[in-house]
A and B are shown apart, each in its own frame.
Chain A
Amino acid sequence: MMKKVIELKGIVKTFGSVLANDHIDFELRSGEIHSLLGENGAGKSSLMNVLAGVYQPDSGEIIFKGERVDIPSPRHSIDMGIGMIHQHFKLVEAHTVLDNMLAGMSKGIFLDKKKYRNQVLELSKKYGLDIDPDSIIDDLSVAQKQRVEILKVLFRGATILILDEPTAVLTPQETEKLFTIINNLKDNDHAIVFISHKLDEVLSISDRVTVLRNGKNVSTLDNKNLDSGILISNMVGQTLDLAIERPITSKESKLLEVKDLSVLRPDGAHGLKNVSFDLFNGEVLGVAGLAGSGQKELCEAIAGLQEKLSGTIVFKGDDITGSTPRQIIKKGISMSFVPEDRLGMGLVASMDLVDNVLLKAYLKQPGIFVDRNQARVEAEKLVDKLSIDTPSVDINVSKLSGGNIQKVLLGREIELQPELIITAYPARGLDIGSAYKIYDLLNEQKTNGNGIIFIGEDLDVLLQISDRLMVMCNGEVTGIVNPDTVTKEDIGYMMVGRKIEGVNSDD
């Protein structure tokens, strides 16, 4: 039953001078769920891309069902029965599920759609995927699209499934459902690699856990008597205090007052609908919600980047509704926005650290010339203070790792000492060490009496860091709750639109 399907021996993969995989051994058995854990840059994706045929290892062996093989291209990988479910779905939005399944099949000129449709239906039923082959992808929820991806690789004959952080986009209820499906697959002798940052999920679903650190395999552990402490110490090489602080502050003065804020998207749909809330000095207001529930519109509306809006946004008595970022800066309103799209909005990817620091400083410099010396000093200070890993401040930010990019962005914004910080997914894609550094920085600002709007996706983090938690769905606020008294289940229901009575703690 538990036979080895894939064995990786001594895999080495380098990118230029970076050693991504350093003699990694990894084995996968049929009928097991094997989690892959590690900080960012630990080598998880490189290793999985070797399996998917995207990267060729510099040395090492791949043993597939007892035979030594090469996987020179993704095509070969698919033919071997390896299916990867990426974080970003690769589906044609305007087509039906069935058409997406059949795309790229190169068997003959004509397709017997009926036959394939039945096959798809059967697979869907067998594993409890609950997908209608005739629905249009565009109409499906994120969770359903993910199941379509799973169905797609199964349809192509995959018996080895690699899921790259599949739960990042799901509600707790949807995660439950996904786990049922994964367990169904396991019962049918499929082998599953599960990549996740969420330790409780890893502990609840895995048979074995492999921890990578700095490109090396630290340990492969059976999921017996494991706890998150053991996993963390393996991941970071030391024991870390897992709790995020929530410093107590006095919240006397109202910093921001948002009333009946509605935003129209360029396509005419409502991005936000009658959103009202207050933010006080020294407060972290967490915002939870599924991806695309209006978080982006909310941040951008306050930061002056949304055009079609109604309602009012009042910052310390100043009505800033509809002001452009330039007007906000000129009015002297001390606000920083750390956008979700770091390289597309917050930073200029092809510019170096100095020019990126300059982005927020140059408007206030006198005269018609930019002062790069001042920005250079500022940039060097950031590198020092946040231990940003870069050879120099003259490196393009796009060459830095995700965590360091975020440190540059958040560091630049915090250095401006803003009274209001709006931050969207500040720790997304960061390893635990960097994420905690970011939380500390934000808490420091909170203690200084500044207000923070924290858009997050990890409920555990949101519940720990927020003084109040606002839940959004479809551009509406479904509740503002006290994180100490609310349950995760209730939040899950609010994320899908159920307004819950009695938990609204908004005064």
Chain B
Amino acid sequence: MIRISKRADMPQSKRWIIRISAIILALAIMSFFFIFLGHNPLEVYQTIITGSLGTYNRFVKTIELVIPLSLSALGIMIAFKMKFWNIGAEGQIVVGAIAATFVALNFSELNSVLLLSMMFIASALAGGIYAFIPAIFKVKFKTNETLFTLMLNYIALRYVTYLQYGPWKDPAARGFPKIANFAQNARLPRVFQINAGWIILIVFVALIYVLMNKSKLGYEIAVIGESQKTAKYAGMNVAKVIVMALFISGALSGIVGMIQVAGVNYTLSDQVSGGMGFTAIIIAWLSQIKVLLIPVVGFFFAMLVQGATFIRTAFQIPQSIVDILQAIILFFALGSEFFINYKLHFERKAKGRIQNG
């Protein structure tokens, strides 16, 4: 018989030993797949690292993944801290991208600084409002935010398809369903060859850190996440805090949409979010809702995604195997948290055990 009990506190060092062993174990198990496919697993793992960091170009690509993943995860974290399960980052990225694209296509005669600022603000507003809607419904009518935010994702995605095939179709693309490329002044400048989104990310990590740890709003968010009863008791305006926090949460993902269209793709397509809003949920969760851990975990994930893309071509490994690799690492990483928080007791099954002593 196995009994599970909650563990008393574990020192940080031991926690990290467990987490790292979990990752190593995941890689060890994955090795069987690679051996079965006829590859040397060590070589594969090494290629993941070189494929994501091996050259400056690859490093740029990896960082350009770190930016959207981490920024979106920051937004999700704010909602999760309140136990508001916002899984709508994907949709919030998309509406941010739509808003930025609208500005980019219609005001392209403005100078670059003004245009980009307008795109930035538009995307933040759009993403914010897109998260604000389920938040209002939650506090007014107690709707389920998980379903609500999830469904909004699909509306946003389909709307891009509509724009792509309909009103925003580029006449110059000769019938091909594509939205026009952005003019030069609507594109984010590159700093050290990386799109300027990395500067935005650094600024927001600092801002959100201050918000969560030093501001009244951050304190209210933390209390509400623990107990709404306590929050009301302390005189907090719970509904207002939830709605405000969700606006910020969605705005961050909206900005991601702007960075992707103005810094990476230079156009809008229904591939703009590409599941990043979901990966960001995992990053927020693995970072244990701690602001400063998010870019670290985000970097690890970006490496994994970028490296996996690389081994796909380098070893002719099918995408499904790459997906399995990511899933197994995740499974073990999340599973290790169970062993950090709980203890297993193995017991023999016996009845009225009597000792002779």
Contacts and interface: CB of A to CB of B under 8 A. Distances in A.
The finding on whether chains A and B are genuine partners in a shared complex, rather than unrelated, reads yes
Interface of A: 15-16, 61, 67-70, 72-73, 76, 79-80, 303, 305, 324-326, 328-330, 337, 339, 341, 344-351, 355, 358-360, 362-363, 365, 368-370
Nearest to A330: B235
B174 interface: no
Contacts of A358: 219
B352 interface: yes
Given A355-B219, A368-B215, A68 B232 contact: no
A127 B98 CA distance: 76
B230 A345 contact: yes
Contact of A79 (B222, B237, B352, B356): B352
Contacts of B347: 72-73
Task: Please classify the interface of chain A as helix (H, G, I), strand (E, B), loop, or mixed, using the class held by over half of its residues.
Answer: mixed
A327 to B, nearest CB: 8
Contacts of B222: 348, 351, 355
Interface string B336-357: 0000000000010011111111
20 contacts: A15-B8, A68-B356, A69-B355, A76-B353, A303-B233, A324-B235, A325-B234, A329-B235, A339-B233, A344-B229, A345-B227, A345-B229, A345-B230, A349-B226, A351-B223, A355-B219, A359-B230, A363-B234, A368-B217, A370-B219
Contacts of B3: 73
B236 interface: yes
Contacts, number: 87
B353 A362 contact: no
A360 B234 contact: yes
B214 interface: yes
B232 A325 contact: yes
A61 B355 CA distance: 10
A68 B216 CA distance: 60
A197 B229 CA distance: 30
Interface in B204-257: 214-217, 219, 222-223, 226-227, 229-230, 232-237
Contacts of A365: 216
B352 A80 contact: yes
Nearest to A367: B216
A346 B233 contact: yes
A215 B350 CA distance: 30
A69 B354 contact: yes
A368 B214 CA distance: 9
B214 A370 contact: yes
B343 to A, nearest CB: 13
B226 A326 contact: no
B233 A325 contact: yes
Given A325-B235, A326-B236, A68 B229 contact: no
Contact of B226 (A67, A348, A369): A348
Nearest to B236: A326
Nearest to B8: A16
B41 to A, nearest CB: 41
Nearest to B210: A369
Nearest to A364: B235
A328 B232 CA distance: 12
Contacts of A76: 350-353
